[in-house]
Amino acid sequence: MAKEIAVSGVQPSGDIHIGNYLGAIKQFVELQDKYKTFFFIVDLHALTESPDPKKLREQIINLAALYLACGLDPKKTTLFIQSHVPAHVELGWILNTITPLGELQRMTQFKDKAEKHGVLAGLLNYPTLMAADILIYNPDVVPVGEDQVQHLELTRALARKFNSQYGNTFREPKALLRKDVARVMGLDDPTKKMSKSAGPNNYIALTDEPDVIRKKIKTAVTDSGSEIKYDPQNKAGISNLLSIYSAFSGESIASLEKKYAGKNYGIFKSDLAELLVQKLSHIHEKYKSLLKNKKSLMKILDVGAKSASKVAEKTMEEVRKKIGLI
Ligand code: TRP
């Protein structure tokens, strides 16, 4: 039987932290063995946040290097830059023509971002391009975070609408939500999700140097008391550090509690810092060496774009025929 297809995109905006790693990248790396996978860097979506051009270019390349450093293997997965497969934009336009305005206006992410960046047409139409990114590969599943479920529902609705208007063309893909990792919270505010926009002391970037990691863990907010116990209600700080420890070491939280019974926060934190230094140093070294040779990095992305284009073009031929363009 042919492998099922998984598709997902990641926005190139700033530092990638351990929350992103545990919530998305690690899952992508696991999926590449089970599914036929298409993973792309959504540079066109990033434009809706008006980034500085030089910075954007750098972030696109850095993100590609980071994905490869984390273990995405170009032999197993199709990794590319969204704008290198222009068919996404063509299908995005076509989907716009069947999307009710009200559906786009009620998207939570649009409302949030419109407050920050102003009501740009690109922000409003963000979900139709995302729907195109997905539907063009006819996937079975789309690994995403909770915040993207609404966009995925719209994608499914657009697939249904297109199919009923023009004949069966698209599959309705399912969201693949990652449930096994507790949400990683901010180090300086463990009541909110870890976030790169909250400032560098809130997160550990995958590319942080060892001493930076040690310092950030040392200064991470902990709770009054001295017991190392998982209790997110009353001990948000220690609970967050415990789940990070567990996710990176593979040890269960219960066994970590046992291991650190009677020990103080300082020892626990210094062990956690060393664990992170050790796990991240491998990724960091590989990342730096990939960035030393940008030419071969771009080559990997070009090969990815070519192979994605083949699949996308096949879908577009069918779409163009169905809607009467050819
Ligand atoms: N909107 C997604 C996010 O912010 C990124 C994205 C763009 C995406 N196109 C996609 C995710 C297609 C999955 C599939 O995370």
All domains of the chain in start order, with CATH = 5-181+293-323 (3.40.50.620), 196-288 (1.10.240.10)
Query: Does residue 130 have its Cβ closer than 6 Å to ligand 1?
Result: yes
Percent share of the chain, pLDDT over 70: 99
Query: Does residue 142 have its Cβ closer than 6 Å to ligand 1?
Result: yes
Q: What are the tens digits of pLDDT across the range 89-106?
A: 999 999 999 999 999 999
Q: Tell me what the mean pLDDT of segment 212-234 comes to.
A: 93
User: Cα of 271 to ligand 1 centre, how many Å?
Assistant: 35
Residue 12 among known ligand-binding residues = yes
Q: Tell me what the mean pLDDT of segment 64-71 comes to.
A: 96
Query: Does residue 141 have its Cβ closer than 6 Å to ligand 1?
Result: no
User: Cα of 241 to ligand 1 centre, how many Å?
Assistant: 28
Q: Tell me what the mean pLDDT of segment 15-42 comes to.
A: 93
pLDDT confidence band for 178 (50 / 70 / 90): confident
Q: Tell me what the mean pLDDT of segment 58-74 comes to.
A: 96
Contacts of 118 (CB under 8 A, 6+ apart): none
Work out the mean pLDDT of the chain and round it to a whole number: 95
Does position 180 have pLDDT exceeding 60, yes or no? no
pLDDT confidence band for 272 (50 / 70 / 90): very high
Query: Does residue 186 have its Cβ closer than 6 Å to ligand 1?
Result: no
Look at residue 225 in the predicted model and tell me its pLDDT.
Answer: 87
Mutate to test the pocket of ligand 1, among 104, 144, 154, 178 (most ligand atoms within 8 A of CB): 144
pLDDT confidence band for 179 (50 / 70 / 90): low
Contacts of 277 (CB under 8 A, 6+ apart): 210, 213, 214
Residue 83 among known ligand-binding residues = no
Does position 123 have pLDDT exceeding 70, yes or no? yes
Does position 116 have pLDDT exceeding 90, yes or no? no
User: Cα of 63 to ligand 1 centre, how many Å?
Assistant: 14
Look at residue 182 in the predicted model and tell me its pLDDT.
Answer: 62
Residue 147 among known ligand-binding residues = yes
Distance of CA 142 to the CA centre of its chain: 11
Query: Does residue 133 have its Cβ closer than 6 Å to ligand 1?
Result: yes
Atom 9 in ligand 1: which residue has the minimum CA distance? 130
